[in-house]
Structure 1
Amino acid sequence: MPPDRPAPPPGRLALRAGLCSERGARAHNEDYAAAWLGEPGRKGAIAALADGVGGARGGRVAAELAVRGLIDGVLGQSEALGPRRTAGRAIEALNRWIHAKGQTDPALAGMACTLTAVVLRGRRVHVLHVGDSRLYRFRDGRLARLTTDHAQRGANLLTRAIGAVESVRVDYAEEAALPHDRLLLCSDGVHGGLSDAAIAAELARRGAPEDTARRLVEAALATAVGDNATALVLDLLDLPVPDRADLEAAIEARPILPPPKRGAMLDGYALEEMLADSRYSRVFRGRDTLSAEGRAVVLKFPKPGAAAEASFRQAHLRESWIAARIRSPFLGEMLEPPPERQSCLYAVLPDYGGETLERRILRGPPPSLTAGIGIATGLCKAVAALHRAGVIHRDIKPDNVILPPGGGLRLIDPGIARLPRLEDSAPADIPGTPSHMAPELLAGTSQGDERSDLYALGVTLYRLFCGGYPYGEVEAFSRPRFGAPASLLTRRPDLPAWLDEVLARAVAADPAERFGDAVELLFALERGMAGGAPARPRPRSLHDRDPLLFWRMVSAALAMLLLLSWARLHGG
């Protein structure tokens, strides 16, 4: 994605469906399938497939009634009941009606059908299944069957079917959904003629859903299976963002175990190099052995202990919330493994390679104006993306900026970010790095807002260009005095005066004197590079430039006036 192109907005259920059904060698097609892909104001989607038994007419009637009745039955009930209850009620009613009709109508005698359905709600797939039709999921190059056949092995005889008996037992399962999952519902005319490997190979081609469904049906019929063949393919293009309750439930459900050691294999992740081992967490560089390309990742494990566990869970919640809602090429991502894959709580992040901005500053030499402004504009865009979503990072510093080897940058580690509508810590407990914290944060009068983030951004850019701090390095628990920032030009006389003025405003001690937002700071940098900024900075008073000297001179002047007054009184 080009750096300046806005990322698509996340958070909407987006699906594509494709269906193909052929009678094959049979005189009639007793299969029936349909999908409801949602509408404004209603959540989720439904897809179902049924394979009729009991004669041409009765089988087709049962299949169509089951699919249509299930979709209408789920949509006709309150969403508050949940998919399992709404679909279960609908299937119970349909089973009784189809069974009774098959007992009383000679033309439909013995009619019954299989039924396999998926209800998509939020980021979950709810599976309901009776019979020997199947549901497959294709994810990350791997095919998984999500249903079990209700049929006697080696014989074409169902052990469960809709309408076969007065009461039916329905298999129910709930699975996590991920963007780019492919779901396949198919009758036995498809899976009976094709191996799992053949099905996986066709799904892996990633053709349009309707083309994939057609090719699967054609391939199955070519094997002379002698049955109707139906395939319904669903592509999950995007999913709703998880809400806070979903995130908290998922995080609390995972235990915190002692962190592994280098060389371990956990949940398919090979831990190859330890990057950090602090009091509260351990960080590894590793490789995802279950991904097709063996993706390089970074894994962060909490260490057991009340304080560490609470801190890590809160940080994990914040990072997950941000990753689900904000997409920007200038922000770090958080990978989302399937919940069933993770045996314990840890964070999985992409390994961007490269180095941190802190390491780049320490390595030297300082960047040229053009290179530095390139980094500065990327950081401004990262902060602007957070602020548009109401997120205050609160720990912007060079250590939290990754410079990948291919260019660009990533602002990472929003684990102490302030999120909208999420309770926050008390002002006395505001975290951060002292030298990058705005005066109002150090004084405890603010919990962090856009302008305190801009201050930290300004300090980061100041360090980028000269390696120092505008007010000197601030020690923890100290109460520094903020006068005027040291001029950038004293350390880098080769830089233009307009940049000194821009950074001085960004790190102003008074929040009201800073830029209004990150976009305004970005425009000031771009205007300066375009030659629109004044060649010389706005003159500053002696009070702003050196307040200590100013007050010494004022004190000396007052002392002189007092001496003159005393001399006049006693000399007359």
Structure 2
Amino acid sequence: MTIGSQRNLQVRVGFVSETGKRAANEDYVAACLGQTGAFNRDIVAAVADGVGGHKGGREAAELTVRCFFDAYYSLPETLGVRRIASRALEAANSWIYQQGRVDSRLSGMSCAFSSMILSRRTCHVIHIGDTRAYRLSEGRLERLTKDHVAGRGDLAHLLNRAIGFEDFARVDYAAVGLRQHDRLLLCSDGVHGVLGDDRLQVLLDERASPEETARALVDAALAAGSNDNMTALVLDVVDLPPADRDELTHAIETLPILELPSSGDTIDDFVLDEMLSDGRYSRLFVAIDKRQNRKLVLKFPHPRVASEGSYRLAFVREAWVAARVRSLWIGEIIEVPAGRQTRLYSVMPFYEGETLEQRLNRSPQISLTEGIGIATKLARAVATLHRAGIIHRDIKPDNVILLTAGGLRLVDLGVARVPLLEDFPAQDIPGTASYMAPELFNGRTGDEYSDLYALGVTVYRMFTAAYPYGEIEPFSRPRFGKPVSLSRYRPDLPAWLDAVIGKALHVDPTQRFGDVIEFAHELENGAMWAKPAVAKRQALYDRNPLMFWKLLSASLIILVAILLAWR
């Protein structure tokens, strides 16, 4: 097994080639994980199968692969993958075609050829003959090549296209988007000729190492009665480079924003089930992916609220962040395979659990221990974004999912402030008023301190179901004084907690904590050395002021009556 990493594209590759029942092995297989110091660092893998019945089959296979690799890495990268690959294979074809006509020992030399070129987030396939390329992605096996054979039945094994057949090679080209954990297969007809696609998928699905899987494929082909040479190359995509801004923007700009769907609709083989929310900006559904038979969440933009440009910008941001920030605390965005998506929406995993908003609206109230655990996890999520230079700008209980298993996910990154990405127009800069820091009402675009403030409001509300400065209406100009003490709503909570949250809520950003990790540290330390205050019975004046004054007045009347009687 070989492990390679180029431009953050990480792969594992293994291959096996066996002679089988033939006298000699006329297959040739190779992989190159990029060339250090070269302009072109794409990952290239290829399988060639010398045509039986012709002289020089093995020579044709080996020369084609070696010539293809040498030419591919020598041509300038600015030509683009397809043009480079076509020129490289044409050079190999021309040399072999001429050699087979001037050297009687190699008369008619030719071979089938399939190559996969992994460049950033795309797999480019160049192919001629009856070798094959497959991709196993999310449990689905897809054949990426078409056999160039004369016909069916007795002619099914006769090629009508191959390297060396003509002075100009008529090759097929295809490109497919890559996903993390995709598994790619190149094989000769000695393997796929006796193993159907279903059997290939079973062996690939076992997810052994690439070399072990390649060995299993060859052994299965031999056991199935293959009379040909058998070659299999398996390549696993371990990691992908993140999509850049231009790639995301181009992909999203081509998708239309349509009217909102309803439960029961089917969109691109996603069956929409329960509606999770129907807000001002978007509508969310639980959905079933018919292709992968899994539960997901789809978010559709509302076409009538904000400008279309701002909607698209929000989707670019979510995809950009999801590609770069991989964390147990941050919600994911699932990339839809190229060609499947016909309208603008985003796809997310379905997280078993409830939002923090749902939790605080049901009994019992969140205890000190439970609340500190949630708050520290949420602080780690926010810190993860801040380390990447990302400002969330809409931290609130609705955007926090408490997982059934005990974890937490911070979601809804479409309004985040992201480095290198254009910000929203001034009139569209988002935020939920009751969670917005005072400086944001003066035109600031948001930073770590405003996220810390929103985190403080979220923690305050988690314990009290109230807002520290009262609920603030959108587009209003609120006045900020001193936040309402926690003890008004929760006298059972300790004073230190009120002080810690109060510092995060300070009107002056410079008087807040240095960062969210410091806030989390204070919460954790306070939880270790302090205990919740013992609940005290409230004074009558606090519980019922009217009754207090009535009793006081009655007492005074009785006292006056006694004094008058005594005199």
TM-score, normalised on structure 2? 0.88
Q: Cα distance 1:406–1:45, how it changes in 2: closer, same or farther (>3 A)?
A: same
Equivalent residue number for residue 558 of structure 2: none
CA contact (8 A) 2:114 2:132 kept: yes
Equivalent position SS for 1:315: helix
Give the C-alpha shift of residue 239 in structure 1.
1.0
Equivalent residue number for residue 22 of structure 2: 26
Equivalent residue number for residue 259 of structure 1: 260
Q: Cα distance 1:305–1:431, how it changes in 2: closer, same or farther (>3 A)?
A: closer
Question: What pairs with 1:304-453 in structure 2 (closer than 5 Å)?
Answer: 304=303, 307=306, 309-427=308-426, 429-444=428-443, 446-453=444-451
Equivalent residue number for residue 174 of structure 1: 175
CA distance in 2, matches of 1:377, 1:289: 38
Question: What pairs with 1:71-220 in structure 2 (closer than 5 Å)?
Answer: 71-154=69-152, 155=155, 156-220=157-221
Equivalent residue number for residue 501 of structure 1: 499
Give the C-alpha shift of residue 10 in structure 1.
13
* Alignment root-mean-square deviation, CA: 2.2
Any runs of at least 4 consecutive aligned residues in structure 1 with deviations exceeding 6 A, and if so which? Answer: none
Give the C-alpha shift of residue 467 in structure 1.
1.7
CA distance in 1, matches of 2:7, 2:324: 7
CA contact (8 A) 1:54 1:110 kept: no
Size of the alignment, in residue pairs?
Answer: 524
Q: Cα distance 1:132–1:34, how it changes in 2: closer, same or farther (>3 A)?
A: same
Q: Cα distance 1:11–1:287, how it changes in 2: closer, same or farther (>3 A)?
A: farther
Equivalent residue number for residue 31 of structure 2: 35
Q: Does 1:297 align with 2:296?
A: yes
Equivalent position SS for 2:134: strand
Q: Does 1:273 align with 2:277?
A: no
Equivalent of 1:530 in 528, 531, 540? 528
Equivalent residue number for residue 283 of structure 1: 284
Decide which moves more: 212-221 or 371-380.
212-221
TM-score, normalised on structure 1? 0.88
Equivalent position SS for 2:75: coil
Q: Cα distance 1:429–1:165, how it changes in 2: closer, same or farther (>3 A)?
A: closer
Could you tell me which amino acid in structure 2 is paired with residue 389 of structure 1?
A
CA distance in 1, matches of 2:482, 2:283: 40
Equivalent position SS for 1:340: coil
CA distance in 2, matches of 1:505, 1:428: 30
CA distance in 2, matches of 1:108, 1:350: 57
Equivalent position SS for 1:410: strand
Could you tell me which amino acid in structure 2 is paired with residue 202 of structure 1?
L
Equivalent position SS for 2:68: helix
Q: Cα distance 1:513–1:304, how it changes in 2: closer, same or farther (>3 A)?
A: closer
CA distance in 1, matches of 2:211, 2:339: 30
CA contact (8 A) 2:6 2:43 kept: no
Decide which moves more: 144-153 or 266-275.
266-275
Equivalent residue number for residue 457 of structure 2: 459
Q: Cα distance 1:304–1:432, how it changes in 2: closer, same or farther (>3 A)?
A: closer
CA contact (8 A) 1:55 1:111 kept: no
Equivalent residue number for residue 557 of structure 1: none
CA distance in 1, matches of 2:429, 2:268: 35
Could you tell me which amino acid in structure 1 is paired with residue 479 of structure 2?
R
Could you tell me which amino acid in structure 1 is paired with residue 83 of structure 2?
R
Equivalent position SS for 2:94: helix
Unaligned runs of 5+ in 2: 534-567
Equivalent position SS for 2:56: helix
Give the C-alpha shift of residue 270 in structure 1.
1.5
CA distance in 1, matches of 2:301, 2:266: 17
CA distance in 1, matches of 2:425, 2:215: 60
Equivalent position SS for 1:341: coil
CA contact (8 A) 1:134 1:145 kept: yes
Could you tell me which amino acid in structure 1 is paired with residue 204 of structure 2?
L
Could you tell me which amino acid in structure 2 is paired with residue 235 of structure 1?
D
Decide which moves more: 356-365 or 170-179.
356-365
Equivalent residue number for residue 64 of structure 1: 62
Q: Does 1:475 align with 2:473?
A: yes
Equivalent position SS for 2:21: coil
Decide which moves more: 35-44 or 471-480.
35-44
CA contact (8 A) 1:430 1:441 kept: no
Give the C-alpha shift of residue 11 in structure 1.
8.1
CA distance in 2, matches of 1:462, 1:72: 64
Q: Cα distance 1:525–1:11, how it changes in 2: closer, same or farther (>3 A)?
A: farther
CA contact (8 A) 2:376 2:523 kept: yes
Give the C-alpha shift of residue 337 in structure 1.
2.2
Q: Cα distance 1:69–1:305, how it changes in 2: closer, same or farther (>3 A)?
A: farther
Decide which moves more: 123-132 or 50-59.
50-59
**Identical residues among aligned pairs (%):** 56
CA distance in 2, matches of 1:467, 1:461: 10
CA distance in 2, matches of 1:200, 1:477: 57
Could you tell me which amino acid in structure 2 is paired with residue 353 of structure 1?
E
Structure 1, residues 18-64: CA drift from partner, whole Å, max 9, x if none?
Answer: 11111111111110010112356764311001001266761111111
CA contact (8 A) 1:10 1:238 kept: no
Give the C-alpha shift of residue 304 in structure 1.
4.1
Could you tell me which amino acid in structure 2 is paired with residue 160 of structure 1?
R
Equivalent position SS for 1:207: coil
Q: Cα distance 1:339–1:478, how it changes in 2: closer, same or farther (>3 A)?
A: same
Equivalent residue number for residue 563 of structure 1: none
CA distance in 2, matches of 1:35, 1:110: 27
Give the C-alpha shift of residue 440 in structure 1.
0.6
Structure 1, residues 234-289: CA drift from partner, whole Å, max 9, x if none?
Answer: 11111111111111111122233333321122222111112333455332112122
Decide which moves more: 99-108 or 427-436.
427-436
Equivalent position SS for 1:392: coil
CA distance in 1, matches of 2:514, 2:317: 25
Q: Cα distance 1:197–1:166, how it changes in 2: closer, same or farther (>3 A)?
A: same
Structure 1, residues 369-389: CA drift from partner, whole Å, max 9, x if none?
Answer: 100001000110110000010
Decide which moves more: 322-331 or 424-433.
424-433
Q: Cα distance 1:39–1:452, how it changes in 2: closer, same or farther (>3 A)?
A: farther
Could you tell me which amino acid in structure 2 is paired with residue 512 of structure 1?
T
Could you tell me which amino acid in structure 2 is paired with residue 159 of structure 1?
N
Could you tell me which amino acid in structure 2 is paired with residue 189 of structure 1?
G
Decide which moves more: 151-160 or 31-40.
31-40
CA distance in 2, matches of 1:10, 1:55: 40
CA distance in 1, matches of 2:280, 2:195: 54
Q: Cα distance 1:348–1:69, how it changes in 2: closer, same or farther (>3 A)?
A: same
Structure 1, residues 396-455: CA drift from partner, whole Å, max 9, x if none?
Answer: 0111111222222211111110000112135554310111000110111x1100000000
Give the C-alpha shift of residue 305 in structure 1.
5.2
CA contact (8 A) 1:10 1:324 kept: no
Structure 1, residues 328-370: CA drift from partner, whole Å, max 9, x if none?
Answer: 1111111122122222221111221322212222224431110
CA distance in 2, matches of 1:414, 1:224: 55
Equivalent position SS for 1:339: coil
Give the C-alpha shift of residue 222 in structure 1.
2.3
Could you tell me which amino acid in structure 1 is paired with residue 273 of structure 2?
E
Equivalent residue number for residue 491 of structure 1: 489
Give the C-alpha shift of residue 306 in structure 1.
8.8
Structure 1, residues 35-94: CA drift from partner, whole Å, max 9, x if none?
Answer: 112356764311001001266761111111111111221111222221101111111111
